[in-house]
Structure 1
Amino acid sequence: MDGTVLVVDDEKEIADLVELYLKSENYTVYKFYSATDAVDFLNKNKVDLAILDVMLPGVSGFTICQKIREKYNYPVIMLTAKDEEIDKITGLTIGADDYITKPFRPLELVARVKAQLRRYLRYNSGMEQEENIIELSGLVINIDTHECTLNEKPLSLTPTEFSILKILSQKRGNVVSAEELFHDIWKDEYYSKSNNTITVHIRHLREKMGDSVDNPKYIKTIWGVGYKIDK
């Protein structure tokens, strides 16, 4: 199997459709129409990725995402209402890795799932054999084991956060645009200049690393251009 996916959406037609497409790609799918049932399941089980509808009766998708982030770093994709930019911002702020707007094309969602799971499962299965470690100013990134430490203390990063830090570290000394980061991570064409996905994840990284926006030690913003980590 390619991985296990949790799907939570109270719109049965959407949940059933997502399940159908994911199962056709050989994913194991745990589907719930109720947020309460999904939370009960998560308290006892672990999955490789979660797809959460934002607007759920009783307990919102945001709340489920927060509960997941208290214990796990596996990818979370949020399903948001059409043109609800605030939902996207909130989802990314609380730790979601990606979002997709309803109505969506099932194949687009499958592509997003594949991109997220490809990174997550690769990092956690030790598929890479050659040890690949980046060290700079107290930061140590082990690309093969998906482990990162800062001043010998472990950093708990989501797959997206790890990917951003890895790319900036590998290209240290050079400015990397938000668009380049987006395409390197998601491998698709859904980027627009108004897309603030990368900005939100950069903010999370800085918070976890204790890095300053005004006087950063690691991730520097080159206004109007992108981001860089100095050599």
Structure 2
Amino acid sequence: MTSRTALVVEDERTINDALAQRLRAEGYTVEQAFDGPSAVELARSLRPDVVLLDVMLPGFDGLEVCRRIQADRPVPVLMLTARDDEADVLVGLGVGADDYLTKPFSMREVVARVAALLRRVERAAALADERPAVIRVGGVSIDPGARRTTVADEAVHLTPTEFDLLLSLAREAGQVLTRERLLREVWDWGDSWGSASAARTVDSHVKALRSKVGAARIRTVHGVGYALEDLP
């Protein structure tokens, strides 16, 4: 199996080195960056399979790094943040991050999240080859093969995670999908990841998705999960 390449972007050298060492032990090829400008340059030349990206960086912050590398080519991004403020998380998801972890985090969880991101990329590529039928739920149209979405005939840009989340909800429109099921289907997480942070991950992505497809289209069933409604 070809080694996957990870780019670790973190200005605290101790954390950066620890992440790099653990990922190398797991079989990844790892490059390291310690500021915004060098991260963008490395991402362009290296073309990594996944990026671990701290929010607070010298030069320019991780949000700007994420914007620039996603504009160059889509790549899975796991954002690392010292703050768990919802507004900060939503901004990160809005610029193209696929997932986030709040410090302090365990290396085991980092490895699991990175592996899950890469499995989702492989699953999306396999789905594109199958050319599945377009799914329509009210005014929302989803093309799983081309990974395109329109709302009321207008194209909507979704991050890879937002697209997978919408697709899962659309496949069983009107039915309530639990957070645990969404974590398995969209994030490829195991049952052992049923923590409060995991639930917040789902909630944050749903909120970001609502801002793009319309809040009324995704119904919340408190304490359970979410359902996609058939609205024009």
Quote the sequence identity (%): 35
Contact 1:11 1:33 in 2 (8 A): yes
In 2, the alpha carbon distance for the partners of 1:18 and 1:62 equals 20
Aligned: 1:85 with 2:112:
no
Query: What CA distance in whole angstroms lies between the structure 2 residues aligned with 1:11 and 1:132?
Result: 47
Aligned to 1:67: 68
Indicate yes or no: 2:168 matched with 1:167. yes
Question: Is the contact made by 2:90 and 2:208 (CA closer than 8 Å) also made in structure 1?
Answer: no
> What secondary structure, in the 3-state scheme, does the structure 1 residue paired with 2:100 have?
strand
The 3 A distance-change label for structure 1 pair 122 and 66 is same
Partner residue of 2:196 out of 173, 179, 192: 192
Q: How many residues align?
A: 223
Within 5 A, what are the aligned runs for 1:21-170?
Answer: 21-42=22-43, 46-70=47-71, 72-81=73-82, 84-86=83-85, 89-95=87-93, 96-124=97-125, 128-129=129-130, 131-170=132-171
Provide the secondary structure at the position in 2 that maps to 1:100: strand
Which amino acid in structure 2 is aligned with residue 204 of structure 1?
A
* Higher share of residues assigned helix: 2
What is the distance in 2 between the residues matched to 1:123 and 1:145? 10
C-alpha distance in 2 between matches for 1:3 and 1:140: 33
CA deviation after TM superposition for structure 1 residue 195, in Å: 4.1
Structure 2 distance, partners of 1:103, 1:193, is: 12
Q: Distance in 2 between matches of 1:180 and 1:61?
A: 30
CA distance in 2, matches of 1:31, 1:143: 34
TM-score (structure 2 length as normaliser): 0.78
1:154 Cα deviation from its structure 2 partner: 3.5
Root-mean-square deviation (CA), in Å? 3.0
Structure 1 segments unaligned to the other structure (5+ residues): none
Cα distance, 1:15 vs. partner? 1.9
TM-score (ref. length: structure 1): 0.78
Partner of 1:13: 14
Deviations 1:180-202 (A, max 9, x none): 32343331414328943222212
Q: What do the CA deviations read for 1:81-131 (whole angstroms, capped 9, x no partner)? A: 3xx322x65134332322223343323211100111111233246575362
Aligned to 1:230: 229
Alpha carbons of structure 1 residues 128 and 17: separation in structure 2 relative to 1, 3 Å: farther
Secondary structure of the 1:227 match is: strand
CA, structure 1 residues 92+121, in 2 after alignment: closer, same or farther (shift >3 Å)? farther
Specify whether residues 69 and 130 from structure 1 end up closer, same or farther in structure 2 by C-alpha distance, changes over 3 A only.
closer
SS in 2 for 1:6: strand
Letter in 2 for 1:13: T
**Displacement of 1:5 after TM fit?**
2.4
Shift of 1:225: 3.7
- Residues 141-162 of structure 1: CA deviation (Å, up to 9, x unaligned): 2334433333444432222111
Structure 1 distance, partners of 2:131, 2:24, is 33
Q: CA deviation at 1:29?
A: 2.8
Cα distance change on mapping 1:153 and 1:25 into 2, 3 Å: farther
Gaps of 5+ in 2: none
